[in-house]
Chains A and B, each alone.
Chain A
Amino acid sequence: MRWLERWQKWAFAAVPAIGLLELAAHAVQTHSVVPERDWKAARAYVVSQAKPEDLVAFAPRWVDPVGRELFGADVATLEREARPDESRFPRALEVSIRGAHVPGLEGWRRSSEQRFGGITVTTWDNPAPVHLVDDLVSMVDPQHMRVTRADAGGREAECTFVHGSPQSGGLGAGPATPGDRFACPGGGIVGASVMADLDYFPRRCIYAPPTGPGVLRLRFLGVRLGRVLHGHHGIYVEAERMRTGSPVTISFKAGDATVGSVVHHDGDGWKPFELDTSEVAGQRADVVAEISAPSGDRRMYCFEADTR
């Protein structure tokens, strides 16, 4: 048992060793920040590789602001940053540090990997790429959309498109109201905004809060239909997280055909839906989305949908 005695004799050394290790680790950690030149090199590579339909994403999540700053809004676009999910992208260029990955790319096929100092750019292929036909969020303008609001008695009023200045607030204010929006008489707006979902992810979506009894009706003009209407809907995090609000229902029609409806309950978060449109696939028709809730209290509702 001599080794045990020896170990006991020198066990005290563990404490100064911890102190020195901590000091060394501190020195390493504070000197291992990814330099701006690595970001610039990674950006040049991504710009040379990425096609408009590709996803460019940063990992870990906390480094996203740095990615947006140094890659710029032309690469870190709103469509990429505030994406509804990853399924619409055929390919992703993941820009990561510290060995992190974008969780949504799990299951994708790695096709290449490039290192730029502390940054790794991994190209991933979508194992189930989809053909996106039309994206309803990009149709929020007077050329492609009409909005009306019907009150509880069924009286319908046109919501006019306005070019105003955006309206935004601080914590708790809800999604910003975009400058370009449909404004309904008596209140209520519809416009493309970015909402924080229940997990605080950004979601580019059509902000269309129901204002109480009645129906908010969005008519998307001449939509090219696919086999499914794929989308998500959610409520701004601070309006949803207490789980005390009314459910919000959205119903879709394509031309004269009812496509289906989905209900969002508080706690559902950024909830996906997919409605079958195979019977009208290949046609072009108006798609009408009707949004309603028993109460409009803090129903800061947002949805996105595409045809595929």
Chain B
Amino acid sequence: MKLPALALPERIGWRDHVIGALLGSTYVAWLLSTARSLGFPRDEGVYFRAAADYVRWWRMLLEHPHEAIQQGAIDALWSQNHEHPALMKTLFGVSWWLLHEKWRVFSDASTAFRLPGMCMAAVALWTTYLFGARAWSRQAGLVAALLLGLMPRVFFHAHLACFDVPIMAMWILCVYVHWRAQERRGIGWALAAGIVFGLTLETKHNAWFLPAALVPYALFVHRRALWRGLKAGRVTLPASLVSMAVVGPIVFLALWPYLWNDTLARIQGWLEFHLHHEYYNIEFLGRNYFGPPSPKIYVPVMVLATVPTVTIALFSVGVWERGTLAMKRLRAGIRGLLGRPAGDAPRRDARETDLLLALSLLVAVGPFFLSRTPIFGATKHWLPAYPVLALWAGRGFVVVAAAMRRALPALDGRKKLAVEAALVASVVFAPLAVTAHSHPFGLSSYVPLVGGTAGGADLGLNRQFWGYTTQNAAAEYLNAKAPRGASVFIHDTTWDAWGRMQEEGRVRSDLRAVGTPHEGMFALVQHELHMSEVDYSIWVADGTDAPVYIVEQDGVPIVSVYRRQ
């Protein structure tokens, strides 16, 4: 499909940035329109608080720079949540300060906090589109970006002032810039590769793994030059790698004032926090995991259960096509080495796009096949793999569309356009329907392949985490039915989250949160396997095992509401 009506030039350029920006801004608009119906997970409350502290420090830096750079001032305002780097929390804070506190663009502080995360989702779609367009075709890029945005888990996490979608965006941006740096080989792109790597490090610790993809890739692309250099007795490294090694850490340190004092000890503390991270409970196939060994089939099962199946099908087509080409190239290369005629070897891609994408995917998801890697984040920890999955799905779409054109050669004009539009619709409608339906229970939703939300529950897949569904219990029951001043045991929801929900009018302000079931007139249970114990405590404390209301998604219990007898 050539998108004839748009009549875009062959060359990818500024118009494609406009397309990418349009995709991204449409996505942000969708996220903004649905943000108010999504409660606040545990982590978000912590990040809101940290973000407000961080922006206070930046304001202090502008107003009283000498005081701001004293260790006392830095430690006072940067110690909150120092186990995660500062970029996103700084952006959350700046957005909150400007768009809520100062200019009142958003009446909800939370929406202002969340906006940078949503914008990062837009960056991911934009970059994915550009990557696909430059690597193969606009059609591939467009379908890839759409399918990335139409993954229910991506949509869920894209709402939040957290780091999972931002690291997905920064990961693919880093890979993209690095790819461009090998293609363009100018100092500008090399510098950009270092800066973006520094920003990625500043986003989340997944970035530690990126060099495992980018270094072998760059060395492979430059293998001939490297070999020539070695033969001449010198080592010549790709400029992008040098930039990553030099500029990256400078950017990283510059943007995280907490590391400006006791630098090595604090970096060590950061590393150790994540290398020895606590294992939280999570259900998988009916069993509660709370420590190693993690199940080896966790990643494939969860990907199949949460990524729309048609996206997986297109990804498989894309991988098959690219893999077949790679095998042909490999065979031709071996024949060449053996001095035999190379035959009809496919044209070499000087950018080695498929190698980079393969490395990126493997490195993003590889750690989650290790038995010692905690799995408590469900799919969110390997979101950086999804843009690549989407890109190969986009490529798969191109292959399918080409096969359709070969099968229907007689079609032309409007009919051809209609059939091609129908093909796009056939691969986009299901992901769109599944994703739209998943909200606001994105963590409870599973794709039709496993039977939807109820199928996921049948399989014993995790229902939710972080206690964010208290808002739904309030919206559907408590706000209307609880007596004035009633006390509510809020279970897994944090005080921060509860307070913010009341401040923003999501939960009635007269309701009082309590920390134990027996203190509450009402008690909530956010259903997860390991949270059953809280359910049973409520039975004893409240004198009944019958909830008065249940928040459900497709008939599956999400939150039970009890009222003390």
Enumerate chain A interface residues (CB-CB to B < 8 A).
9-16, 18-20, 22-23, 25-27, 29-30, 33-34, 60, 62-63, 65-66, 68-69, 71-73, 76-78, 81-82, 97-98, 100, 165-171, 173, 175-178, 193-196, 200, 202, 236-238, 241
The answer, among A13, A66, A71, A77, for a CB contact under 8 Å with B555, is A66
Contact yes or no, A66 B533, CB < 8 A: no
Given contacts A15-B396, A62-B458, A69-B546, contact A200 B433 (CB under 8 A): no
Q: Which residues of A contact B530 (CB under 8 A)?
A: 171, 200, 237
Contact yes or no, B400 A15, CB < 8 A: yes
Cα of A202 to Cα of B437 in the assembled complex, Å: 33
Cα of A9 to Cα of B407 in the assembled complex, Å: 6
Interface membership of B317, Cβ < 8 A: yes
Interface membership of B8, Cβ < 8 A: no
Given contacts A66-B557, A68-B545, A165-B518, contact A18 B452 (CB under 8 A): no
Q: A19-B426, A237-B533 are in contact. List 5 more A-B contacts (CB 8 A).
A: A18-B313, A19-B429, A26-B448, A33-B454, A176-B536
Contact yes or no, A60 B457, CB < 8 A: yes
Contact yes or no, B457 A29, CB < 8 A: no
Contact yes or no, A168 B527, CB < 8 A: no
Contact yes or no, A168 B545, CB < 8 A: no
Per-position 1/0 for B428-453, Cβ under 8 A of A: 11100110010000000001110111
Contact yes or no, B540 A202, CB < 8 A: no
9 A-B contact pairs sorted by A residue (CB < 8 Å) = A12-B399, A15-B313, A22-B447, A23-B429, A33-B555, A76-B546, A168-B517, A177-B540, A194-B539
Cα of A171 to Cα of B281 in the assembled complex, Å: 11
Interface membership of B206, Cβ < 8 A: no
Contact yes or no, A19 B540, CB < 8 A: no
Q: Which residues of A contact B546 (CB under 8 A)?
A: 68-69, 71-73, 76
Cα of A76 to Cα of B544 in the assembled complex, Å: 10
Q: Which residues of A contact B556 (CB under 8 A)?
A: 62
Contact yes or no, A20 B491, CB < 8 A: no
The 3 closest A-B pairs by CB, nearest first: A12-B403, A16-B426, A25-B448
Interface membership of B19, Cβ < 8 A: no
Given contacts A20-B426, A65-B527, A171-B531, contact A194 B407 (CB under 8 A): no
Contact yes or no, B557 A30, CB < 8 A: no
Residue in B406, B423, B426 whose Cβ sees the most chain A Cβ within 10 Å: B426
Contact yes or no, B309 A16, CB < 8 A: no
Contact yes or no, B541 A166, CB < 8 A: yes
Interface membership of B547, Cβ < 8 A: yes
Interface membership of B288, Cβ < 8 A: yes
Interface membership of B534, Cβ < 8 A: yes
Q: Which residues of B contact A13 (CB under 8 A)?
A: 404
- Closest residue of chain B to A169 (Cβ to Cβ) is B516
Given contacts A65-B560, A69-B546, A176-B541, contact A29 B454 (CB under 8 A): yes
- Closest residue of chain B to A9 (Cβ to Cβ) is B407
Closest beta carbon of chain A to B254's beta carbon, Å: 40
Interface membership of B270, Cβ < 8 A: no
The answer, among B308, B516, B540, for a CB contact under 8 Å with A175, is B540
Cα of A160 to Cα of B434 in the assembled complex, Å: 58
Closest beta carbon of chain A to B144's beta carbon, Å: 15
Cα of A205 to Cα of B544 in the assembled complex, Å: 16
Which residues, 272 to 291 on B, are CB-close (under 8 Å) to A? 288, 290
Per-position 1/0 for B496-525, Cβ under 8 A of A: 000000000000000000011110000000
Q: Which residues of B contact A77 (CB under 8 A)?
A: 545
Q: Which residues of B contact A76 (CB under 8 A)?
A: 545-546
The answer, among A12, A69, A167, A200, for a CB contact under 8 Å with B400, is A12
Interface membership of B538, Cβ < 8 A: yes
Cα of A66 to Cα of B558 in the assembled complex, Å: 10
Contact yes or no, B540 A193, CB < 8 A: yes
Contact yes or no, A16 B423, CB < 8 A: yes
Given contacts A171-B531, A194-B540, contact A62 B545 (CB under 8 A): no
Contact yes or no, A29 B451, CB < 8 A: yes
Closest beta carbon of chain B to A11's beta carbon, Å: 7
Q: Which residues of B contact A62 (CB under 8 A)?
A: 457-458, 527, 556-557
Q: Which residues of B contact A29 (CB under 8 A)?
A: 448, 451-455, 554
Contact yes or no, A18 B310, CB < 8 A: yes
Contact yes or no, A200 B532, CB < 8 A: yes
Cα of A194 to Cα of B557 in the assembled complex, Å: 21
Interface membership of B550, Cβ < 8 A: yes
Contact yes or no, B430 A23, CB < 8 A: yes
Q: Which residues of A contact B529 (CB under 8 A)?
A: 200
Cα of A281 to Cα of B457 in the assembled complex, Å: 46
Contact yes or no, B531 A33, CB < 8 A: no
Q: Which residues of A contact B407 (CB under 8 A)?
A: 9-10, 12
Cα of A201 to Cα of B197 in the assembled complex, Å: 48
Q: Which residues of A contact B547 (CB under 8 A)?
A: 65, 68-69
Closest beta carbon of chain B to A90's beta carbon, Å: 22
Q: Which residues of A contact B555 (CB under 8 A)?
A: 33-34, 63, 66, 97
The answer, among A15, A23, A98, A173, for a CB contact under 8 Å with B458, is A98
Residue in A22, A167, A169 whose Cβ sees the most chain B Cβ within 10 Å: A22
Q: Which residues of A contact B527 (CB under 8 A)?
A: 62, 65
Closest beta carbon of chain A to B283's beta carbon, Å: 9
Contact yes or no, B536 A15, CB < 8 A: no
Closest beta carbon of chain B to A236's beta carbon, Å: 7
The answer, among B427, B433, B533, for a CB contact under 8 Å with A238, is B533
- Closest residue of chain A to B422 (Cβ to Cβ) is A16
Closest beta carbon of chain A to B433's beta carbon, Å: 5
- Closest residue of chain B to A165 (Cβ to Cβ) is B518
Q: Which residues of B contact A194 (CB under 8 A)?
A: 536-537, 539-540
Closest beta carbon of chain B to A110's beta carbon, Å: 22
Interface membership of B43, Cβ < 8 A: no
Interface membership of B164, Cβ < 8 A: no
Interface membership of B146, Cβ < 8 A: no
Given contacts A19-B430, A69-B548, contact A202 B536 (CB under 8 A): yes
Interface membership of B256, Cβ < 8 A: no
Contact yes or no, A66 B540, CB < 8 A: no
Q: Which residues of B contact A167 (CB under 8 A)?
A: 516, 518, 541
Cα of A20 to Cα of B428 in the assembled complex, Å: 10
The answer, among A14, A33, A175, for a CB contact under 8 Å with B313, is A14
Q: Which residues of A contact B16 (CB under 8 A)?
A: none
Closest beta carbon of chain B to A53's beta carbon, Å: 19
Interface membership of B552, Cβ < 8 A: yes
Cα of A171 to Cα of B493 in the assembled complex, Å: 12
Closest beta carbon of chain A to B565's beta carbon, Å: 8
Cα of A176 to Cα of B543 in the assembled complex, Å: 11
Cα of A33 to Cα of B550 in the assembled complex, Å: 14
Interface membership of B549, Cβ < 8 A: yes
Residue in B538, B540, B550 whose Cβ sees the most chain A Cβ within 10 Å: B540
Closest beta carbon of chain A to B92's beta carbon, Å: 27
Contact yes or no, A169 B406, CB < 8 A: no
